[in-house]
Every structure is written in structure tokens, then in C-alpha cells.
Structure 1
């Protein structure tokens, strides 16, 4: 079995890939709602994992993860704790660019989803603290949204180009190689036929 055929057996069908699945009827309200919910879940889940690692490495006790997620007063620039905590939100945005590419997969929609994620985060933080966040929190969230917008758009655009062009360029050459090998096998008659013709 050739390497190309082996890769064909392992390849996930095009219609079952996550990005293609989510791109179908992408303007449907139900699809958009599901995508927003999934992105928000991964956004907060990634943040919780980062905060957990931060607390274990630096020895800070975790009283409540909801406080770490939604308390805007924790964002500070004059202490090491506040700086590392603020930096974790930026790292969270870098990681969520991958989820944005997989779940949405369209560069034109990356901007909208990035803003929506941070708008929901603003609403949750305001409801949790009972007041609008301070300027420090706004600065961190603006930087976080810019990372998610530009890097998410770039990754989604690269993914679109790869699916559109590069995969179609690889498959025909593989099919051509298979067809050439098949033709070569058909052009060579079996040994028995050659012997019979020689005897005649």
C-alpha cells in the first residue's frame, strides 16, 4: 500500500471536519449562538487552567476562581502579583486564537467573535463587582482583544487558504501517481502470456 493511500484512509472526511461543520450556514443564529457559547467556555476554561498553574507555581492561595475570573480589581500594575495576573489574560488570548480558528474558521468573522467574547466578559465582570471596571482592567482587555482580533484573523485566513488551495494541489498529484502506477501494471502482460506468444 502506497503512502498516499495510507494517508487517504486516515484522513477525516471533509464534511466531518470541525471548521467545515461550523462554516455551514455560518450566518444562522443558532450556529452563531453555539459558536459564541463554545468560545466563551474555552476562554474561561483556559483562564482557569492558567490561574491554577499560577497559584501552584507562585504559592498564591485560590479562594475562588470566579473572583479571579471576574474581579476587575485584581488587575494591577504596581505589584508582581498584579502584573503576572494581567499577563495571564494576554496569554489566554494567544491560546484562544487556536479555538477561534477551529470553531469559527473564517477570517471575516474573527473580529466579531473577538469583540463578543470581551463584551460578555465586561458584562460578567460588571455584574460580579457591581460597578464598571477600572482603567487598568480596560487596558488589559483592549490588548487582549487586539491579540485575539489580529492573530485570530491571521490564523483563520491561513487555515482558509490551506484548505482551499494546498489540499487540492496535493490530491491530484497523488491521484496521478496512482493512475500512472495502475497504467504501468496494465501495460505489462502477465508472464504466462509472454511465454505463450514466444512459443507461437
Structure 2
């Protein structure tokens, strides 16, 4: 009995994004997310003359609406979501996968914050800023990936304004089209010929 043939994998299946690649992309995006937050919050503490601690990153109580530092940290988390668009564009590159990765980043941040404080965040300001950051990351990430996907692909065709040097001067690409050497024909395929009038021999008698 001949062996049973397997169906070929459909387009967009796990062959394009294997599980190991997905996990690696998530880890790199999460590290980039926290590295950006670390740099931004550290810079803020140095400017304001405050003491830096990991609680400013992983403690949801640091986002507060009754002091300037709390508002600044919340604003920096939104900026972090804006900057995260860059690694998403480099690692994901597909617009339909951007919402999944962006929401995964913020969901893992929720888990890390809850484990660090041993409580689920109850600060409405923290939830609002996280929602704003996720929305910003998704919208800009989808736009950037779609813009990259819709870029025209060059197959080595001659640009419209490309010129070719001849004995009489530069020759525009449009001139090749008028001479019958354009529109799918190779410009350097060979010489061009002109039609001439042929006279009959008896007319000259």
C-alpha cells in the first residue's frame, strides 16, 4: 500500500512563523519594551534629582495623579509604547500580526507588575495609560507595517526619466517608446530600422 501523501501547508501557516520564532520575537519585544522604559525613567530621575529604583518600573503604584512624578512616569509609559513601534516593525513586519504582539507585550507587563506587587492593579489611571499605550502601539504599528508592505517592488525596469547617452546627446526613456523600443522590449536589443519607399524599375524608363 503506497504511503499516504500529506497535504501541503497552507499559506500563512506555522511554516511562516514557527513557535520558536514567535517566542523569540516576544522575548525580544518585551526586553526592548523594558529597556526603553528603563532608559526613559532613569533619565527622568536624573533630571529631577530623584532616587531611581525598580519600583518605578514594575510597581503600578508609581503611576499616580496627585504628584508630578506619577504623571511623568505615566506619560513615559505612553512614550514607551510609541517607541516600541520600531522593534515591532523590524521583528514582525506584518500588519495583521501587530495587534497580537502589541497586546501580548502589555499583557506580560500586567503579569510582571502583578507579580512584583503581589496585587492586581486597581489604579484607574494606570489602566487608562496602558490602554492608551496599547492603542497607540497597535495603530502606529499597523500603519508602519502596511506602509512597508505597499512599497512598490522594482524588477530592474528602466525608470521613466532614465536617460541614455547617444551621439546626438542624452536620449530620454520616452524617446525609446516613441521609436518602438519600449513597452516590454529591450532598449539595447539591436538597431532600429526605417521604412523607405521602393520605386519600380519601369517607372525610371
TM-score, normalising length from structure 1?
0.70
Q: Which runs of 5+ in 2 are unaligned?
A: 1-13, 167-186, 192-205
Shift of 1:67: 1.4
Match of 1:139 in 2: 128
Q: Does 1:149 align with 2:138?
A: yes
Matched residue, 2:24: 34
Matched, 1:69 2:54: no
State the alpha-carbon separation in 2 of the partners of residues 121 and 44 from structure 1. Answer: 9
Q: Relative to structure 1, is the Cα distance of residues 168 and 68 closer, same or farther in structure 2, using a 3 angstrom cutoff?
A: same
Match of 2:47 in 1: 57
Higher RCO, Cα 8 Å, sep 6+: 1
Trace 1:17-166 onto structure 2 (pairs within 5 A). 25-62=15-52, 64=53, 66-134=54-122, 135-162=124-151, 166=152
Describe the superposition over 1:121-152 as per-residue Cα deviations: whole angstroms up to 9, x where unpaired: 00000000000012221111111100111111
- Cα gap change, 1:47 to 1:26, in 2 (>3 Å): farther
Unaligned runs of at least 5 residues, structure 1: 1-23, 188-200
Deviations 1:157-199 (A, max 9, x none): 111112xxx2427x4226x969988x77x97xxxxxxxxxxxx
CA contact (8 A) 1:39 1:99 kept: yes
Instruction: Name the SS of the counterpart of 1:173 in structure 2.
Output: coil
| Number of equivalent positions | 157
For the pair shown, the structure with the greater C-alpha radius of gyration is: 2
Q: For each residue in 1:43-68, what CA deviation from the matched residue of structure 2 results, as whole angstroms up to 9, or x when unmatched?
A: 00011010111111111111x2x312
Superposition RMSD on alpha carbons, in Å?
Answer: 2.7
Comparing both structures, which one devotes a greater share of its residues to helix? 1
Mean alpha-carbon deviation: is it higher for 110-119 or for 51-60? 51-60
Taking the TM superposition and a 5 Å limit, the aligned residue runs for 1:173-188 are 173=158
